[in-house]
Amino acid sequence: MSQGDPTSGERLKEEESVRKDESIIPVNRDGLMARDESGNSLPMHCIMHDVSDRKRAEEALRESQRRQAEAERLAAVGRIAARVAHEINNPLAGIRNAFRLVRDAVPAGHPDHDMVGRIEREIDRISHIVRQMYSLYHQQEARIGDVAVAQAIEDVLVMLEPLRRERGVALDAGRVPLGLTVRLAEGGLQQILYNLVANAVEASPPGGVVAVAAQLAHEHHRDLVEISVRDQGRGVPPEIRHRIFEPFFTSKSAADSGKGFGPGLSVVRNIVESHGGSITLESTPGQGTVFRVFLPHNPKAEEQ
């Protein structure tokens, strides 16, 4: 064997390397081992390979697979939800029609007249859940258009005024730029806001404030509209945050009002992600929760 004859190649484990500009990159180090005529090892010659592109591609593939698996899981849950909703809807319509006869037969002076309103509200709540179950599986085929964020927030706050008064909670919309727009299916933004704000109102204590805000944001080299809904409730415990977007999951105890059940947050995430957006949750126990929705910004609509 001649001096410097290479006898084996060795690839060491992936590691990090610091470039001249002090940035850190992932690398693979290829080493070529050689021995002299006596069999003694000679200094190893190494070549560093920048694997940043490969790492990014692997991460993108993993994220794509995760999103695909989540979409398939949600579709399966949605099919079940739609089937259940169909089975509930028919007898619910019969109950609603029969209740109207009972409601009209109970005079205002009857000692149990207050139960009439309670029953009607519960029927409405079941009907709302059924509609959400349909939405979880099949969003209405609505036209895609430019939606004014400020107007959508104002409309939703008006719709939730009765719930706000009932719960003794204040709604603060702050200053929302009038020209701020997103491109969404008709009614999509209102549905997102309605679910988030209604949940925030129900989570807040009497005298609490639910703050709704919207602004431009920049993330991953693109302009976004960030919409936040903040409450002053008890917060979401860390151990259940990963489940908060599951259909029919609720962080509320049985001792609470009984509201909050339903696929609302699943529907919200489904709408947001189907339009190229994202939603995040931040929560501090005892101090409240804030949901942030990020949707692609449509500056062309504001230029017109």
For position 159, what pLDDT does the model report? Answer: 84
Angle between helices 114-137 and 264-274 (to 10 degrees): 30
For position 295, what pLDDT does the model report? Answer: 92
Q: Is the pTM of this model over 0.95?
A: no
| Segments of the chain with pLDDT less than 70 | 1-15, 17-20, 29-34, 42-49, 67-78, 81-82, 132-143, 220-221, 247-263, 298-304
Determine if residue 70 is left, alpha or beta; phi over 0 gives left, psi from -120 to 50 gives alpha, anything else beta.
alpha
For position 4, what pLDDT does the model report? Answer: 45
For position 97, what pLDDT does the model report? Answer: 87
Q: What is the pLDDT of residues 162-186, one digit of tens each?
A: 889 999 999 999 888 878 899 887 7
For position 300, what pLDDT does the model report? Answer: 56
Q: CA-CA distance, 257 to 176, in Å (whole number)?
A: 32
- Provide the H-helix boundaries in the chain: 52-105, 114-137, 149-159, 161-167, 188-203, 264-274, 299-303
Strand-pair partners of 210: 171
**Residue 40 to residues 21, 30, 35, 45: CA-CA distances in angstroms?**
38, 20, 5, 15
For position 30, what pLDDT does the model report? Answer: 67
Q: Which domains does the chain have, with CATH numbers?
A: 5-50 (2.10.70), 65-138 (1.10.287.130), 142-304 (3.30.565.10)
For position 127, what pLDDT does the model report? Answer: 80
For position 196, what pLDDT does the model report? Answer: 93
Determine if residue 133 is left, alpha or beta; phi over 0 gives left, psi from -120 to 50 gives alpha, anything else beta.
alpha
